[in-house]
Amino acid sequence: MEIYKKSITELSDLLNKKTISSVEMTNYFLERIKTHDSKLNSFITINDRFALKKAAEADKKISNNEHHLLTGIPIAHKDLFSTKNILTTCGSKMLKNYKPPFDATVVKKLDDIGMVNIGKTNMDEFAMGSSNESSYFGVVKNPWNLDKVPGGSSGGSAAAVAACLSPVATGSDTGGSIRQPASFCGLTGLKPTYSSVSRYGMIAYASSLDQGGPIGKSAEDCAILYNEINGYDPNDSTSNHEQKIEKIKLNFTKENASKIRIGIPLEYFSKNLDQSISDEIFKSIDVFKKLGFKIKEISLPNHNFTIPAYYIIASAEASSNLSRYDGVKFGYRCKDPKNLEELYFKTRKEGFGKEVKKRVMIGAYALSSGYYDEYYIRALKIRRIIRDSFLAAFKDVDFIFAPTSPTTAFNIGEKTSNAVDMYLSDIYTTPVNLAGLPALSIPVGYSNNLPVGLQIIGNYFSESGILNIAHFYQKNTEWHLKVPKEFDNE
Amino acid sequence: MSDWESVIGLEIHVQLLTKSKIFSASSTSYGSNPNKQASYIDLGMPGTLPILNKSVIKKAVEFGLAINAKIAKQSIFARKNYFYPDLPKNYQISQLDHPIVEGGFVSISDKGNEKIINITRAHLEEDAGKSIHSNENNCTYIDLNRAGTPLLEIVSEPEISSAHEAVLYMKKIHKIVTFLKICDGNMQEGSFRCDANVSVRKKGENRLGTRTELKNINSFRFVEKAINYEIDRQIEILEEGKEIIQETRLYDENKNITKSMRTKEEANDYRYFPDPDLLPIDIDEEYIQDIKRTLPDMPDVKMKFYKDEYKLNDEQINIILSSFDIMQFLEKVIITTKIEPKKIVNYFISSLYIKINKENYDLNDKNIEPQEFCHIIEALESNKISKNNLKKIIDELFLKKDSVDKIIDNLSVKNGNDDKFIDDLIEEIIINNKKQVDDYKNGKTKILGFFVGQVLKKAKNYDPSLIKEKIIKALEDI
């Protein structure tokens, strides 16, 4: 039946027709995790007991006809979403035994409609990384080539969905952490408009940039999930309650396409970009042209300042957000500290990994007196310039197409010794976070047998347009249907 | 005369009177078991986010308007980063560059001389928890009940020039916040406490001397003592030709000295930055005007009114304005009765005020209604009861056994106004004491005391002045 390949709608159909129960479906995916995850290391916690109980409840709802499209469908959550009484590690030794007493809003919303949380996925420690190599729980491997990284920081979620160990997963995107792993793993991943998805219960990395979103096989799956997780949350003061977000309907036609102007920012196709990726992107742009979209070149000036600005702002916020891990109240505590100072020093020295320590130090430095204006304030100015350049572009075009990443998935260990190289892999994704815009990555081809992602960037709250464009493309192409060979079997 | 002058600025921490904390729904009430009032937000659990309690904005704006300050159209919360075990997130949410209240002033009056003290700013912030150090088992316990309690920090300009002025200023602010009912003013429970920045310089010098900061002083008496000690300490050091070290010092109330806590070199770099978890507070003019309309008169306005309209003297005014409750109580009485305000205030001072002060009560503790006090003083004014009985009535009122009307009734029966018993008694005494009556008739009016005494022997607790009147009348009638 090839259940692993199926979309959410198809799975829901099977449950509806009682071809298969949610318990069976859940067991099926748990079995796949057991069979395959030793190769990938995409899960930190497998949630079998809770999941089967939840699936049984879902089956009851389905037979009582009290269900939602997503009832009984398995999902995996990135391990920074708090799950009540279920280990939530954030990929860190600091929280390796931490069980939150409450659910994140995103988790709760999906739980309430009966989705089955089958496990918590691996990630870069505290979401700091672009390759999933900084996790305390080990490196995650790319299902398309086990020598390659899956991208980060939502690498576990991407690897799990790409290997069909879960039909869909949640991720979070601070500088590209949904889109880049989606791109590396041949998936569709949505980074929503900042404020549209509640951050409550999502363990913070950089509060003004963090945004939760779905990673799935298709735009359709992402849209279904996004429809459920967005919305105002009184527990998150920064969550949007001015803009009413309608449920997204994927009903796009050629007629609609002809009215849409797409901008191609020339700066995003410079020497940083692999030629083969550029080629694949332009091939896909030709497809969009054929589908009726109007394509034009645009300019997004000053985006070369994005990476330093991003790393200063994100690290500054992180240095403060991560202060609470001190061994006093929860999480890891060092053994036998002699005094308070040693409790702090040893706990944080032993509990945090290298990348986290580096960013906490960068951030503390950028905020310290005498450097604040020079670093933090200047970074904020660049942030404003980036946002304004996007808004100026959106006067001319409706959406922007860009590569998601300058390279395809790279080798494990290839960039760990060169921080700048690693940070530059976020060059096309971070501007979107600085501006707070929504963007989606979709697979549009292959380079050396590794997936290439196209990024569709829209204006604030234009998720409906973005997902419709992607869905329209996916209806006419098959890149999103491909499954890595090793995992393409029952 | 000393040729030194001191320069003092105060930072007063006012705990805002709210039911719940500034960023969570936990209760702010005092004295419950440790950590019973700490939610996931107060604990800084990963993934939790602060939610602003909107009532603190109103209270801050009320204070700003009361001191004639500017209310910021947009104010911003910032994080003040430092590590301390009773600060759960290891940063305090406060305000730095854009406080909610800017500028403003109060006036203080020292022996009739008015002086303006300018207020730099007042900003909102969350309180920390408490660390309780135990010597017994070499442990520190942490109680986070207080963590997240809303504070308004009021920062004065360094325009205070003596410990005495500092106390007057602090009392003025105390009066304003309690009149506004934005703070309960309870200094024992730490609802109102202050830090003092103290420096000294030679008279005529324009430059400020190096200052020290005295932390967490929570009584008017200690503020005066701590500042005076610190001024003397600094002058002594400077006169020895040494330099003052900029540092934070702690006042030891038992020894009446200040001790160094940390020097500037050890001071934290707080790495302030705008809190990305909270939106800026936007306040429009309409909101400010709405609050302005409901604002009670401030003590200074009241003071002038009492002086001009009620013809009260300074001492009386000070007593009325010593607390909001007393002021409100007396104003209700003044409105309810026709008795002139001056008399009302005197009755009050000589009875209820003495009683609550002597027995350390709050006016509200015994739920005595202004209406009840009106009845009492009206009964006094109409001579229904003797003025000697005032104290007794108040005592009975505090016992709360009988209603005020019953208490008055009990006493007025014996007043003898229309009492046949008294009239008969007087007649009997006149008949039995012919000689004394003759003496009186011959002009020996001093003998009146004898008659009054005779009557009172048999009729205790009666109003002598009334009896005296009755006797005079009876003697005249012979």
* Tokens found for residue B405: 């009307």
Tell which of B23, B77, B277, B278 to mutate to test the A interface (max A CBs under 10 Å). B277
Nearest Cα of chain B lies from the Cα of A236 at a distance, in angstroms, of 6
In a domain, A464, yes or no: yes
Residue B430: what residue type?
Answer: I
Per DSSP, the three-state class of B10 is: strand
Residue A222 included in any domain: yes
As a whole number of angstroms, the distance between CA B50 and CA B44 comes to 9
Assess if residue A308 is contained within a domain: no
pLDDT at B413 over 50: no
Whether residues A329 and B44 touch (CB distance < 8 A) is answered with: yes
Separation CA B388–CA A36 (nearest Å): 98
Q: Which is nearest to B269 in space by CA: B90, B124, B80, B11? A: B80
Nearest chain A residue (CA) to B80: A320
**Most confident stretch, A73-77, B239-243, B474-478:** A73-77
Provide the domain limits for residue A238: 3-257+407-413+439-487
* B39: closest chain A residue by CA: A101
- The burial class, CB within 10 Å (0-12 / 13-18 / 19+), for A359 is buried
d(CA A194, CA A181): 19
Which residues in chain B are contacts of A206 at CB distance < 8 A? Answer: 276
Cβ–Cβ below 8 Å for B40 and A101: yes
Is residue B6's pLDDT more than 50?
yes
A369: its two tokens: 């007196």
Cβ B122 vs Cβ B163: under 8 Å: no
Categorize the per-residue pLDDT at B449 as very low, low, confident or very high, splitting at 50, 70 and 90: confident
Of A375-379, B242-246, B307-311, B359-363, give the lowest mean pLDDT range.
Answer: B359-363
Does the beta-carbon distance from A369 to B88 stay under 8 Å? no
pLDDT tens for each residue of B88-120: 999 999 999 999 999 999 999 888 788 999 999
- Residue indicated by tokens 């305090």: B92
At A209 the pLDDT is 98
Catalytic residues of A: 78, 153, 177
Cβ–Cβ under 8 Å, residues A177 and A127: yes
Considering only A108-122, B159-173, B449-463, which range has the smallest mean pLDDT? B449-463
- What is the pLDDT at residue B363? 78
Q: Most distant CA pair in chain A: distance in Å? A: 72
**Of the candidates A202, A316, A326, which has its C-beta nearest B47's C-beta?**
A202
From the list A207, A323, A376, which residue is nearest B90 (CB)?
Answer: A323
* pLDDT (tens digit per residue) in B261-279: 877 766 779 999 999 999 9
Identify all chain B residues contacting A326, using CB atoms and an 8 Å cutoff. 83, 85, 90
Segment A223-270, tens digit of pLDDT: 999 999 999 999 999 999 988 999 999 999 999 999 999 999 999 998
pLDDT score recorded for residue B184: 93
Q: CA-to-CA distance for B310 and B342, rounded, in angstroms?
A: 7
In a domain, A302, yes or no: no
Question: Searching chain B, which residue's CA lies closest to the CA of residue A207?
Answer: B276
Question: Which chain A residues are Cβ-neighbours of B45 within 8 angstroms?
Answer: 100-102, 330
CB contacts of B42 in chain A (<8 Å) are none
CATH number of A249's domain: 3.90.1300.10
Among B115, B185, B191, smallest CA distance to B150 is for B191
Would you say residue A363 lies in a domain?
Answer: no
Flag whether A377 is in a domain: no
Catalogue all structural domains in chain B, each as residue range(s) with its CATH number: 4-286 (no CATH), 297-413 (no CATH), 420-477 (1.10.10.410)
- Evaluate if residue B417 carries a pLDDT over 60: no
**Above 60 in pLDDT, residue B1?**
no
Beta-carbon separation of B47 and A101 below 8 A: no
Q: Which residues of A387-398 are buried (b: 16+ CB within 10 A; e: fewer)?
A: eebbeebbeebb
Q: Whole-angstrom Cα distance, residue B359 to residue B349?
A: 14
Residue of B nearest to A240 (CA): B279
The SS3 of residue A83 is strand
CB within 8 Å: A324 and B88: yes
- Chain B residues close to A242, C-beta within 8 Å: none
Rounded distance between C-alpha atoms, residue B215 and residue B227, angstroms? 11
pLDDT less than 70: residues of chain A? none
pLDDT at B213 over 50: yes
Name chain B contacts of A237, Cβ cutoff 8 Å: 49-52, 277-279
Q: Which residue of B has its CA nearest to A83?
A: B47
Minimum-distance CB partner of A100 among B45, B90, B276: B45
**Cβ <8 Å between A203 and B273:** no
Query: Of all residues in chain B, what percent carry a pLDDT higher than 90?
Result: 57
Decide if A234 and B51 are in contact by the 8 Å CB cutoff: yes
Q: Is B271 close to A323, i.e. CB distance below 8 A?
A: no
Rounded to an integer, the average pLDDT of B345-357 is: 89
Helix (H) or strand (E) holding B300: helix B299-309
Q: Report the residue count for chain A.
A: 490
Mean pLDDT of chain B: 90
Judge whether residue B414 has pLDDT over 90: no
Number of cross-chain residue pairs from A and B with Cβ atoms under 8 Å apart: 95
| Residue B261, pLDDT score | 85
Q: How far is CA A297 from CA A266, A306, A325, A402, B283, in A?
A: 7, 21, 47, 11, 43
CA of B140 vs chain A CAs: smallest distance (Å): 10
Domain count, chain A: 1
Chain-chain contact of A376 with B278 (C-beta, under 8 angstroms)? no
Residues of chain A contacting residue B88, judged by C-beta atoms under 8 Å apart: 324, 328-329
Minimum-distance CB partner of A324 among B44, B269, B273: B44
Task: Work out the average pLDDT over B230-253.
Answer: 94
Long-range contacts of B310-313 (CB under 8 A, 24+ apart): B310/B334, B310/B341, B310/B342, B310/B345, B311/B341, B311/B342, B312/B341, B312/B342, B312/B345
With contacts defined as CB-CB under 8 Å, which chain A residues touch B47? Answer: 80, 82, 100, 104, 199-204
Q: Which residue of B has its CA nearest to A201?
A: B47
Residues 6+ apart with CB under 8 A from A196: A211, A230, A231, A239, A240, A243, A245, A438, A461, A463
Its ipTM equals: 0.96
Say whether B47 and A203 touch across the interface (CB within 8 A): yes
Which residues of B lie closer than 8 Å to A, measured between beta carbons? 40, 43-52, 79, 81, 83, 85, 88-91, 140, 142, 269, 271-273, 276-279
Separation CA B397–CA B361 (nearest Å): 14
* pLDDT value for B418: 55
pLDDT of residue B412: 62
User: Is residue A92 assigned to a domain?
Assistant: yes
With bands split at pLDDT 50, 70 and 90, how would you rate the model's confidence at B460? low
Cβ atoms A151, A160 nearer than 8 A: no
- Between B151 and B418, the higher pLDDT residue: B151
Chain A positions in Cβ-Cβ contact with residue B44 (cut-off 8 Å): 324, 329
In a domain, A291, yes or no: no
Sequence-separated (6 or more) residues with CB below 8 Å from residue B417 = B383, B384, B466
pLDDT value for A397: 98
Q: Residue B359 has what pLDDT?
A: 81
Contact (Cβ atoms closer than 8 angstroms) between residue A300 and residue A432: no
Residue B287 pLDDT more than 70?
yes
| DSSP one-letter string for B421-473 | HHHHHHHHHHHH-HHHHHHHHTT-GGGHHHHHHHHHHHSTT--HHHHHHHHHH
